[in-house]
Amino acid sequence: MASSVRKKPGSTLRDKVSGVLKMLHRTVQIEYPLKATTADVYFVDQRSQNFPTRVAVECKDWQSPLNSKQLAEIDNLYRPSLNNDEIDFLWIVSNHELAQGPSQRVTNLKRVVYSTYQDFLSTMMNFSLVLEENIAAFKNHESSRNFLQLETKEAGKTLESATRAWLAGDSRALIVFGGYGLGKTSFSFYIASVLSAEYQDGTFDRIPIRISLSGLYAKQDLRGLICSLLTGSEGGPDVGNFTYNLFLRMVHEGLFVLILDGFDEMRHAMTAEEFAYTFEQMSPLFAGQSKTILLGRPDSFFTEEEEDQILSALFSEIDSPESSFEKIEVAPLRRDQIEDYLRLFSVGAELGSSLAEEGHVKRFAYDEDEVDILSRPVQLHMFTKIMRKHMKMEGKITRHRLYSHFIYEFIKREQSKEARKVEFGEAKLGHDDPRSIFMQNVAWWVLADKRENRFSASEIPRDLIPETLTREGRKSGSLREALVGSVIERISRSTEAVGTKGGAVYYFPHKSYLEFLVSEYFCRVRFSRQMFAKFFRNANKEIISFINDGPPEAVENLKQGLEFVRGHALRDFYKVAARHPSYNVPIDPKSFPKLTAAEVFILYELVLSTRKSDEEIDEFVYEVFRTSTNLHRFYAAVQIACEHLNRSQRQNLVEKLIIFTFGSIDEKQLESMYSNQSTLFHVYTADVAAMRAIFLGNCVSIENGIIEVNLRRVWTIANDIARSTFQVGEYELDHDGVVTYRFDGRTHPGINDHVRSLISDRVFARVPMRISGNLADVFSRYD
């Protein structure tokens, strides 16, 4: 009998159990001798000082579950100690669930308890209140009333189904990327609630713990955040016997699914180095048998290098980090989801069925722009709240209009407080009143100069405060008055929490507030060249979207500023500038030679947006190319030509462009280019003929009179020029589109006899060149 239950000195399970118990109890021993046997682990539970409990633990890390006979043998070994009160309880811990018969056997044994190792860990700390809190938190969250099942960008998958597939797999981390307002936080509340209910029902084997990472603002580190969250100090549930080290042990053993929401909010208040350091502190949450969901905005990482740096810190305790996490991206709502939500809203309790009868449901005749605006659940919810008071608003309800309303309501509330009132004369509340101006000024300063959404009060330049607030500042001071009457918030009272000196630290709690206020500043203020340079360098697509939806003044400023662009500029800038009223008239052919490079891109976006025919676009592209006489214009011409030719088959245009280029180059230069492939063609001028020759010699190949245009080479030429002028982003070559054009130069009626004689019997993949002078740096790769 004794041989079948012989001890295993050095048992891994025994050491794990004793290690956990030592975190909670002072008296813990392994291989503790009793009268009839030796306990794997012996400990005294002294949580009740008057009634200490002596417990012997028998650890069985066998490959198979214990059967009834083995349980009886174990009981026989310890029964003398139980009967003689040498121990109060026997605790049998194994790696396997018991079958029905053995489970009943244990129930009939007096003062004997059986647990799996995971159950053993669960008894060390009581998370039952956390489960109830998760369920209640979702019920109280505003999204629970009309919760929307989000979808991933991978077709046919909901975010919930993708999450459950990951839970069933082997990877330890799931990174959920999603843009502004796509419902990531709502989903984090939802999935924590659903999984908590399933854990209570016994259909899910991990305890969900949701942690808002924005709480790191007010805590010194992640440990402080978790401890405050799970010990009730933040008004949440108090986990009995909580210790941080035991919590980490339980994470490692796979007892939890951690839901970490808002890693993009950490980025607002941290430098990249601090971000990486904080993620490195989080790495224990991704080790062992852990399962951790991490949610945030994809633009938290400005470059791929930064993303790699941060993620490598996050998974520093994983041997093969690239195989230990998955990424999914949340998709915007579809049109039918939007309409279903608004239909429920219109006929539901919020507005009452009478409004539906009055025909307000029919008001939502969306175009594509409105669908895009409402495709984010947060904005959709905002929209329905505004509709309560403004069902008869005129015009489209744009994102700019939504945020204008929010800022307006905020300022109006501040003005209703006696201590906050300021005189603003004829200013428009929510746009150019003193409080709005202060917020816009600070937002611009954060974007353009501070370059970080975290700042102490002492860092804020005093000239950002409007005179009205300065003059009417109460005894607390004008800066304090400006700050407390704004959407800017304080991060933490503790300077140690953020590693700065000299008082509290402030930030814009929502990135979209910052972006909206920058767009308002851009609309209100007359910019210098230096300010335009800062704007184009730092503005993102969200700011551009607000400008696009905003008043005409912003478009006027944008049109003016695009003339000063140097370096990279987003294509969306030019799309927005195309709204300028001066472009609402037919293009005068005589104006082509006078167009700037910026105007070329603006007009090209205009002809695309107004759905001109391909033939009309052909003519526009040709005239731009034909009249380009400087490097900036030539870049614009080549770039739009490449994009248009790549998008669809435009054979007539490409022939017209190449015939013009041949005809625009001096006959002697053409002879020099195509007379002998072993002779270098020397380019030493910087005029338009030289640029056309470089274009022709590198983008056009000739084989016995057959002319081939390679758009990959055209795209490369355009990008090479852009490096020395400016570059409009997002003009990418579609390799699945049209990339080559061919026609016979020997028979084409547009090719003159001189050109025909040069190309008929020659083979030139590229014209060998030597480029000197001002164009040498631009086209160095062709030399």
Chain centroid to CA 447: how far? 18
Q: Comparing C-alpha atoms, which of 495, 547, 549 is closest to residue 522? A: 547
- Quick one: average pLDDT of 164-169? 94
DSSP state letter for 495: G
CA angle 154, 157, 161 (to 5 degrees): 130
Note the pLDDT tens digit of each residue in 686-722.
888 899 999 999 999 999 999 999 999 999 999 988 8
- Residue 395: per-residue pLDDT: 56
Q: Tell me the pLDDT band of 212, cut-offs 50, 70 and 90.
A: confident
Q: Is the pLDDT of residue 638 over 90?
A: yes
Structure tokens at 394: 């005129």
**Contact between residue 208 and residue 192 where contact means Cβ atoms under 8 Å apart:** yes
Question: Directed axis angle between helix 434-445 and helix 399-415, to 10°?
Answer: 120
Sequence-separated contacts (24+) of 427-432 with Cβ below 8 Å: 430/404, 430/405, 431/404, 431/520, 431/524, 432/524
**Contact between residue 510 and residue 497 where contact means Cβ atoms under 8 Å apart:** no
The whole-model pTM stands at 0.54
Instruction: Pick the range with the lowest mean pLDDT from 405-414, 617-626, 739-748.
Output: 405-414
Note the pLDDT tens digit of each residue in 555-570.
888 988 898 888 888 9
CA distances (Å), 154 to each of 125, 150, 174, 183, 187, in order? Answer: 39, 12, 15, 17, 17
Q: 10 Å Cβ neighbour count for 699? A: 23
Q: Please tell me whether residue 579 adopts helix, strand or coil conformation.
A: coil
CA distances (Å), 616 to each of 305, 488, 585, 591, 626, in order? Answer: 43, 50, 15, 16, 15
The Cα–Cα gap between 457 and 480 comes to 8
Q: Is the pLDDT of residue 202 over 50?
A: yes
Q: Tell me the pLDDT band of 268, cut-offs 50, 70 and 90.
A: very low
The Cα–Cα gap between 51 and 60 comes to 28
- Residue 29: per-residue pLDDT: 95
- In terms of pLDDT, which residue wins out, 117 or 653? 653
- Quick one: average pLDDT of 450-471? 84
**Contact between residue 183 and residue 143 where contact means Cβ atoms under 8 Å apart:** yes
Q: Is the pLDDT of residue 266 over 70?
A: no
CA distances (Å), 149 to each of 39, 167, 348, 647, in order? Answer: 52, 18, 19, 36
**Contact between residue 649 and residue 614 where contact means Cβ atoms under 8 Å apart:** no
- Residue 364: per-residue pLDDT: 43
Could you tell me the sign of the dihedral formed by the alpha carbons of 423, 424, 426, 428, in that order?
negative
Q: Tell me the pLDDT band of 104, cut-offs 50, 70 and 90.
A: very high
Q: Tell me the pLDDT band of 392, cut-offs 50, 70 and 90.
A: low
Q: Is the pLDDT of residue 417 over 70?
A: no
Label each residue of 662-689 as H, E or C: HHHCCHHHHHHHHCCCCCCEEECCCCHH
Q: What is the Cβ-side half-sphere exposure of residue 482, based on CA atoms within 13 angstroms?
A: 27
The Cα–Cα gap between 482 and 469 comes to 7
- Residue 711: per-residue pLDDT: 94
Q: Tell me the pLDDT band of 662, cut-offs 50, 70 and 90.
A: very high
Q: Comparing C-alpha atoms, which of 378, 276, 384 is closest to residue 339? A: 384
DSSP string, 141-208: SGGGTT----BBSSTT-BHHHHHHHHHTSS-SEEEEE--TTSSHHHHHHHHHHHHHHHHHHTS--SEE
Instruction: Pick the range with the lowest mean pLDDT from 28-37, 183-192, 221-230.
Output: 221-230
E strand or H helix at 743: strand 740-744
- Quick one: average pLDDT of 209-225? 79
DSSP state letter for 780: G
Q: Comparing C-alpha atoms, which of 650, 759, 653, 633 is closest to residue 707? A: 759
**Contact between residue 204 and residue 210 where contact means Cβ atoms under 8 Å apart:** no
Q: Is the pLDDT of residue 355 over 60?
A: no
- Quick one: average pLDDT of 328-345? 85
Q: Tell me the pLDDT band of 473, cut-offs 50, 70 and 90.
A: very low
- Residue 431: per-residue pLDDT: 85
Q: Tell me the pLDDT band of 269, cut-offs 50, 70 and 90.
A: very low
DSSP string, 532-555: HHHHHHH--HHHHHHHHHS-HHHH
- Residue 490: per-residue pLDDT: 67
For the chain, the average pLDDT equals: 83
- In terms of pLDDT, which residue wins out, 54 or 20? 54
Note the pLDDT tens digit of each residue in 270-286.
555 766 777 888 888 88
Note the pLDDT tens digit of each residue in 312-334.
777 766 655 555 788 898 988 88
Q: Tell me the pLDDT band of 628, cut-offs 50, 70 and 90.
A: very high
- Residue 65: per-residue pLDDT: 93
CA distances (Å), 774 to each of 568, 685, 686, in order? Answer: 22, 7, 6
For 293-433, where are the alpha helices, taking DSSP H only? 304-314, 335-347, 353-357, 368-374, 377-389, 399-415
Could you tell me what percent of the chain has a pLDDT over 70?
84
- Residue 199: per-residue pLDDT: 86
- Residue 695: per-residue pLDDT: 93
The Cα–Cα gap between 678 and 212 comes to 68
- Residue 347: per-residue pLDDT: 52
Q: Is the pLDDT of residue 307 over 80?
A: no
Could you tell me the sign of the dihedral formed by the alpha carbons of 764, 770, 772, 778, in that order?
positive
Instruction: Pick the range with the lowest mean pLDDT from 220-234, 588-602, 617-631, 641-655.
Output: 220-234
- Quick one: average pLDDT of 736-751? 93
Q: Tell me the pLDDT band of 358, cut-offs 50, 70 and 90.
A: very low
